[in-house]
Amino acid sequence: MERIHERYYLSYPRALIKEPILYHLVKKFDLIFNIRGASVSEEMGLVAVEFEGTRDQIERAIVWLRSSGVTVEPIEKNVIE
Amino acid sequence: MSYITNLKCKECGQEYPVAPLHVCETCFGPLEVGYDYAKIRAAISREKIESRPRNLWRYRELLPVDGEAEAGPHSGFTPLVHCKRLGAELGMKHLYVKDDTVNHPTLSYKDRVVSVAITKAREFGFTTVSCASTGNLATAVAAHAARAGLKCFIFMPEGVEAGKIVGSTIYGAQVITIRGNYDDVNRLCSEIADKYGWAFVNINLRPYYTEGAKTFGFEVAEQLGWKLPDHIVVPTAGGTILPKVAKAFKELKEVGLVKGPEFKIYSAQAAGSAPVIHALHKGVDLITPVKPDTIAKSIAIGNPADGYYVLRAVRESGGWGDSATDPEIIEAIKLLARTEGIFAEPAGGTTLAVALKLIKQGRIKPDETTVVSITGNGYKTLEAVAGAIERPFVIDARLGEFDALFERLGDGKRAAASA
Ligand SMILES: [Zn+2]
């Protein structure tokens, strides 16, 4: 399987800030990730991250993140104008 | 001759060469074009600009291109209309509309950003240009690509109105509609930009593309007699134009073309898609995405790429922002049309509706110079107002029928008396 790199912003609502989300992500989906930036404020946490894995691994990981309450966006955010 | 120095990350400051790049490799922050302002200051003057053709390239020293314009020879330099009748209704003496409903060739402010992006695409040697769009951007890219002799692919979400597809296909663009939601379309386009090496105007050419929006601000200042307005109200969708208008005003000061008092800049969003206004009113930096639901389709972006920079520019200037509901937007479109003879798309109705609120709130005072930014043409979005317009009267072709109708309309007696 071809391995690809994809870059995302993950934003966590306040309730999830203390959860070890990225730890679960690695355990469950065997992804390599590389954090490029992070900020946590009172209302939410924001992490810029690059995933490395197969297309299938990354897609399943994103579905799981979203079902856990994390917002996942490509770093370009909305390109449809 | 070019005055660009580099690309620079807006977040961490890391510098990059002038290339088709759009995010910082270190922190994923957006990249911004840097210029040598000292050199520009020495090279530019009001007289020099005024002697040039009336298009957006008259400010070419402050645009990110090396050579001659390859697109948009008739784009920009749209009218700044002094709104006397509208102003009188609102008690405003110096109310202006910057009227991009008549931008060439596709009747929206996108002709500006796309002119610059296509010129840069040619300079970089691209042969195919592309974008993901549901409206004005698609039309502008398709039209400018046609004239520049470039191949063009337009991506749209499935289910977009047939008219939107015609508006791009007519120029010879290949339109592809994508099954899936907006997120899927976004992701696919980013992947295609990477893999196919095309010039995606608002992805890998984004730092250059967005610079084109400065020309809106340059023109406002020049048309006010090389002065900045006290207030300017700008619509916010993806967040391109507002920070760039603020940048344009600051650059004009930096290079010595204008002096004088500071401006305040205001963001306008449709209430059904107002993530930036929510954050502004709450006093927070993080913008929580929303699912858009408004007739103002051209500004219905729930997760604006540059929303944070809109907040920053608004706050830095001491400005503010507000949102307008769909009925308020329609009322404002009708008001502008019946007082000034300008038919704006719903984005323009939004801007005017918000300007009305700012005046009512006392943030904008009657004798202060105020510019309302109208970024697109109402002829493209007739369906948005069709239901809110008076129906025509129907009569038989007999003078007596018309006389009776005219009498009923109430103006009959006055007309007869003055005859
Ligand atoms: Zn950076």
Domain boundaries in chain B?
80-106+228-245+264-387, 391-419
Give the pLDDT band (50/70/90) at residue A15. confident
Task: Report CA(B15)–ligand 1 centroid distance (Å).
Answer: 8
> Which residue from B minimizes the CA distance to A13?
B288
**pLDDT value, residue B44:** 97
Residue A79 to residue B27, Cβ atoms within 8 A:
no
Domain assignment present for A7: yes
The model carries a pTM of 0.93
- State the Cα–Cα distance between residues B156 and B132, nearest whole angstrom: 6
Domain assignment present for A33: yes
For the cut 80, the answer to whether the pLDDT of residue B277 exceeds it is yes
How many distinct structural domains can be found in chain A? Answer: 1
Structure tokens at B346: 């719903």
Helix B241-254 vs helix B214-223: crossing angle, to nearest 10: 50
Q: What is the torsion angle, in degrees rounded to the nearest 10, for the CA atoms of residue B133, residue B139, residue B143 and residue B144?
A: -50
**pLDDT value, residue A77:** 74
Give the nearest partner residue to B238 out of A37, A41, A78, using CB atoms: A78
Give the pLDDT band (50/70/90) at residue A13. confident
Give the A:B interface size as CB pairs under 8 Å.
Answer: 82
- Domain of A13 in residue numbering reads as 3-74
Is the CB of residue B131 less than 8 Å away from at least one CB of chain A?
Answer: yes
- Best B131, B133, B187 member to test A by mutation, with max A CBs in 10 Å, is B187
Say which range, A24-38, A58-72, B19-33, B54-68, has the weakest mean pLDDT: A24-38
Residue B183 to residue A80, Cβ atoms within 8 A:
no
Structure tokens at A32: 């390599």
Task: Select from A6, A10, A39, A37 the least CA-distant residue to A22.
Answer: A10
Is the CB of residue B134 less than 8 Å away from at least one CB of chain A?
Answer: yes
Question: What one-letter code names the amino acid at B69?
Answer: A
For the cut 80, the answer to whether the pLDDT of residue B303 exceeds it is yes
Backbone torsions φ then ψ of A36, nearest 5 degrees: -105, -15
Structure tokens at B149: 């002799």
Which domain CATH number covers A22? 3.30.70.260
Residue linked to tokens 């929580």: B288
CATH assignment, B80-106+228-245+264-387: 3.40.50.1100
Is the CB of residue B276 less than 8 Å away from at least one CB of chain A?
Answer: no
Residue B284 to residue A41, Cβ atoms within 8 A:
yes
> Residue A7: its chain B contacts at CB < 8 A?
23, 28
Give the pLDDT band (50/70/90) at residue A22. confident
- State the Cα–Cα distance between residues B317 and B320, nearest whole angstrom: 9
> Residue B200: its chain A contacts at CB < 8 A?
79
Average pLDDT, chain B: 94
> Residue A37: its chain B contacts at CB < 8 A?
11, 27-29
Task: Select from B112, B335, B318, B110 the least CA-distant residue to B232.
Answer: B318
The enclosing H or E element of B243 equals helix B241-254
- State the Cα–Cα distance between residues B240 and A26, nearest whole angstrom: 36
Give the nearest partner residue to B237 out of A11, A74, A81, using CB atoms: A81
Task: Report CA(B23)–ligand 1 centroid distance (Å).
Answer: 8
For the cut 70, the answer to whether the pLDDT of residue B369 exceeds it is yes
ipTM: 0.81
Give the nearest partner residue to A77 out of B131, B284, B303, using CB atoms: B303
- State the Cα–Cα distance between residues B241 and B267, nearest whole angstrom: 10
Is the CB of residue B361 less than 8 Å away from at least one CB of chain A?
Answer: no
> Residue B304: its chain A contacts at CB < 8 A?
77-78
| ∠ Cα B122 B127 B130 (to 5°) | 95
Task: Report CA(B24)–ligand 1 centroid distance (Å).
Answer: 5
Structure tokens at B210: 């967005």
Sequential DSSP letters for B144-189: HHHHHT-EEEEEEETT--HHHHHHHHTTT-EEEEESS-HHHHHHHH
pLDDT in tens, B335-362: 999 999 999 999 999 999 999 999 999 9
Give the pLDDT band (50/70/90) at residue B413. low
Number of other CB atoms surrounding residue B70 within 10 Å: 20
For the cut 90, the answer to whether the pLDDT of residue B60 exceeds it is yes
Give the pLDDT band (50/70/90) at residue B135. confident
**pLDDT value, residue B411:** 63
For the cut 90, the answer to whether the pLDDT of residue A26 exceeds it is no
> Residue A47: its chain B contacts at CB < 8 A?
none
> Coil, helix or strand for A35?
strand
CA atoms within 13 A on the CB side of B404: 9
Residues in A whose CB is inside 8 Å of some CB of B read 7, 9, 11, 36-37, 41, 43-44, 46, 48, 71, 73-81
Residue A75 to residue B23, Cβ atoms within 8 A:
yes
For the cut 60, the answer to whether the pLDDT of residue B62 exceeds it is yes
Give the nearest partner residue to A78 out of B110, B284, B304, using CB atoms: B304
Q: Is residue B371 within 8 Å of B80, Cβ to Cβ? A: yes
For the cut 90, the answer to whether the pLDDT of residue B261 exceeds it is no
Task: Select from B154, B148, B110 the least CA-distant residue to B126.
Answer: B148
For the cut 80, the answer to whether the pLDDT of residue B9 exceeds it is yes
Task: Select from B235, B160, B151 the least CA-distant residue to B141.
Answer: B151
The enclosing H or E element of B207 equals helix B206-211
Give the pLDDT band (50/70/90) at residue A5. confident
Task: Tell me the shortest Cα–Cα distance from B115 to chain A, in angstroms.
Answer: 16
